[in-house]
Amino acid sequence: MIKNNKIVLVAIALLIVTFSVKAQDKSIFKKEQFVKGSDTLQYRILYPEGFSQDSIYPLVLFLHGAGERGSDNESQLVHGADLFLKEENRKNFPAVVIFPQVPKDDYWANVDVDRESFPLKFDFHNTDEPTTSMRLTMDLLDQYTSEKYIDTTRLYVGGLSMGGMGTFEMISRKPETFAAAFAICGAADTSIAEKYREGFFIWVFHGL
């Protein structure tokens, strides 16, 4: 477990302090689209340096916050992307990294948000169908995990704010999929934890 989770532990620790890191060349993240029926999910993907389909890599899925929603396939890289572009991380922790983007009118988690209240009030619908963006992201993940170069025992998901909410929901909808997860400034109905598999490894960060 310790070895398998090394990449996510490093990611979590660095995410907390690296949002002000000097900007990297984000164009290295390849622009892609995932289309299913009439729905489209914009996403960016970073392959390891020296990528080879004959090698096996972990996969990290990062879910952005509400402020990065849109259709430009750019904004989702504002927070967190620089971490994965740092030379030492690419060298020491090669991984396939995916940053999907939620449209302005959608959300990761199935939740109603009362923005007129303070603090904000959330009404989660964990037992309902996933949002379009959540469903497409789970389908996208299934597509990549079918590739021989992805190590399905080392799949990680994490996110910030709205993405933290999405992280909590994602691991409840796919409890056997991920090796570990991290949520930063997220929220959830605590009953959702009943769906997590026993002994699941998750780091949760929140503060004022």
Report percent pLDDT > 70 for the chain. 88
Per-residue DSSP letter, 159:
E
Residue 99: what pLDDT?
99
Confidence bin at 55 (pLDDT 50/70/90): very high
Contact 45, 28 (CB under 8 A): no
Element (H, E) at 59: strand 57-63
Strands 39-46 and 30-36: antiparallel
Cα separations (Å) of 75 from 22, 45, 66, 68?
17, 14, 10, 5
Q: Report which of residues 23 and 103 the model is more confident about.
A: 103
From 3.30.365.10, 3.40.50.1820, 3.40.50.2300, 3.40.367.20, which CATH number describes the 6-205 domain? 3.40.50.1820
Say whether pLDDT at 152 is over 70: yes
> Taking the mean position of all CA atoms in its chain, how far away is CA 78?
14
Strands 121-124 and 111-114: antiparallel
Of 4-18, 57-71, 140-154, 162-176, the one with minimum mean pLDDT is 4-18
Residue 35: what pLDDT?
98
DSSP string, 90-154: HHHS--EEEEEE--TT--SS-EEEETTSSS-EEEE-TTSPPPHHHHHHHHHHHHHHTSTTEEEEE
Q: Quote the tokens at residue 165.
A: 């909410």
How many other β-carbons are positioned within 10 Å of the β-carbon of residue 30? Answer: 10
Distance CA 115, CA 125 (A): 17
Cβ burial 124-137 (10 Å sphere, 16+ → b, else e)? bebeeebbbbbebb
Mean pLDDT of the chain: 90
Q: Quote the tokens at residue 80.
A: 């967190």
Strands 201-205 and 96-101: unpaired
Q: How many CA atoms lie within 13 A of 146 on its CB side?
A: 6
Contact 167, 80 (CB under 8 A): no
Q: Minimal CA–CA distance to 145: which of 37, 80, 60?
A: 60
Residue 19: what pLDDT?
47
Say whether pLDDT at 111 is over 70: yes
Contact 135, 100 (CB under 8 A): no
The residue ranges of every structural domain in the chain are 6-205
